[in-house]
């Protein structure tokens, strides 16, 4: 994907006079957030997208952050705005996301983009759910008619990926912390998407032979301190038809979709 996008972007200066410009706002110094933001800058460079990262201290006032967003909204040379989440507790995340121009919302988190998604109208799709469906298709997984089980009901992954799978005509079950007999439900999955944020939560006994397993988790393994997913990969991989690893699966795909969304926002403005 990155090579294809780079090929396309190469022609943009001649065609449009400039390349797409993504602005990432990072508040505070959480090491995980710093590492994700660095990943986004690196991918931008590979694709030929201009990246500006604005770093602000943890103590920034909500008003100042909203002021920065207003400036970026008004800047004709900014195509995409991403505010790295989570934000410090004194800042209202919903208010900040809603302040971003919907046309520059490369995350697809703006309430108008969310509404458009649920109404099947054209919109910027959230990066992780979009990447998951792309991966399934690229791997030749038929989605229509399949039993898909989503573990987790967050606004950024669980809910939107459920909607996208429904749009692909899967029969979707959304499970969560209050689901009874979770293992029984997940064993019924032909496609299992796990996004709950608990290291190695999904064990081999919860997965049926031949299932397609998508692991959205980004956790630290409490024993080794290494990055790990929500799925116990070593135990589940032998049973799965296909499975995404962590690292090297959904995370990099999310970043690719962010690049794609940035290009789409740019092209809509041209």
User: Catalytic site residues?
Assistant: 40, 84, 107
How far apart CA 142 and CA 130 sit, in angstroms, is 16
For residue 3, give every residue at least 6 positions away whose Cβ sits within 8 Å of its Cβ, in sequence order, or none: none
Task: Give me 115's structure tokens.
Answer: 């509404």
The answer to whether residue 47 forms part of the interface with ligand GUE (CB under 6 A) is no
Nearer to ligand GUE among residue 22 and residue 206 (C-beta): 22
The answer to whether residue 107 forms part of the interface with ligand GUE (CB under 6 A) is yes
Question: What three-state secondary structure class fits 209?
Answer: coil
Q: Rule CB under 6 A: which of 143-172 touch ligand GUE? A: none
The answer to whether residue 36 forms part of the interface with ligand GUE (CB under 6 A) is yes
The answer to whether residue 82 forms part of the interface with ligand GUE (CB under 6 A) is yes
**218 marked ligand binding residue:** yes
Task: Give me 123's structure tokens.
Answer: 């919109």
Q: How far is the CB of 259 from ligand GUE (least distance, A)?
A: 12
Q: How far is the CB of 48 from ligand GUE (least distance, A)?
A: 19
Q: How far is the CB of 252 from ligand GUE (least distance, A)?
A: 5
User: Per 3-state DSSP, what percentage of the chain is helix, strand, and coil (rounded to 5)?
Assistant: 45, 15, 40
Q: How far is the CB of 16 from ligand GUE (least distance, A)?
A: 26
State residue 8 phi and psi, 5-degree precision. Answer: -70, -45
The answer to whether residue 54 forms part of the interface with ligand GUE (CB under 6 A) is no
Contact between 213 and 238 under an 8 Å Cβ cutoff? The reply is no
How far apart CA 78 and CA 72 sit, in angstroms, is 6
* Contact residue for ligand GUE among 19, 72, 83, 231 (CB under 6 A): 83
Give the DSSP H or E segment for 116: helix 111-118
118 CB-side CA count, 13 A? 9
* Contact residue for ligand GUE among 1, 41, 66, 85 (CB under 6 A): 85
User: Which part of the chain contacts ligand GUE (CB under 6 A), choosing from 147-155, 190-198, 231-239, 249-257?
Assistant: 249-257
Contact between 132 and 215 under an 8 Å Cβ cutoff? The reply is no
Which residues of the chain form contacts with ligand GUE (CB under 6 A)? 35-36, 39, 82-85, 107, 127, 218, 227, 246-248, 251-252, 254-255
């Amino acid at each position: 994907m990155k090579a294809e996008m780079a090929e396309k972007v190469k022609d943009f200066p001649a065609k449009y006079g400039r390349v797409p410009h993504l602005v990432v706002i990072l508040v505070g110094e959480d090491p995980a957030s710093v590492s994700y933001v660095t990943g986004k800058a690196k991918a931008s460079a590979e694709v030929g997208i201009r990246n500006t990262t604005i770093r602000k201290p943890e103590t920034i006032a909500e008003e100042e952050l909203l002021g920065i967003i207003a400036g970026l909204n008004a800047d004709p040379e900014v195509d995409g705005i991403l505010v790295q989440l989570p934000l410090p507790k004194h800042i209202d995340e919903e208010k900040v996301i809603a302040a971003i121009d919907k046309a520059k919302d490369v995350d697809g988190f703006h309430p108008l983009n969310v509404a458009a998604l649920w109404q099947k109208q054209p919109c910027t799709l959230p990066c992780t759910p979009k990447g998951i469906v792309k991966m399934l298709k690229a791997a030749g997984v038929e989605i229509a008619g399949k039993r898909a089980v989503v573990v987790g009901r967050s606004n950024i992954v669980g809910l939107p990926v459920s909607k996208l799978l429904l749009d692909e005509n899967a029969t979707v079950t959304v499970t969560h912390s209050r689901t009874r007999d979770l293992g029984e439900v997940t064993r019924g999955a032909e496609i299992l998407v796990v996004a709950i944020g608990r290291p190695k939560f999904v064990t081999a006994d919860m997965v049926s032979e031949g299932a397609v397993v998508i692991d959205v988790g980004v956790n630290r393994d409490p024993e080794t301190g290494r990055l790990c997913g929500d799925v116990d990969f070593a135990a589940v991989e032998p049973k799965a038809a296909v499975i995404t690893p962590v690292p090297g699966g959904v995370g990099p795909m999310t970043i690719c979709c962010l690049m794609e969304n940035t290009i789409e926002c740019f092209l809509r403005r041209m």
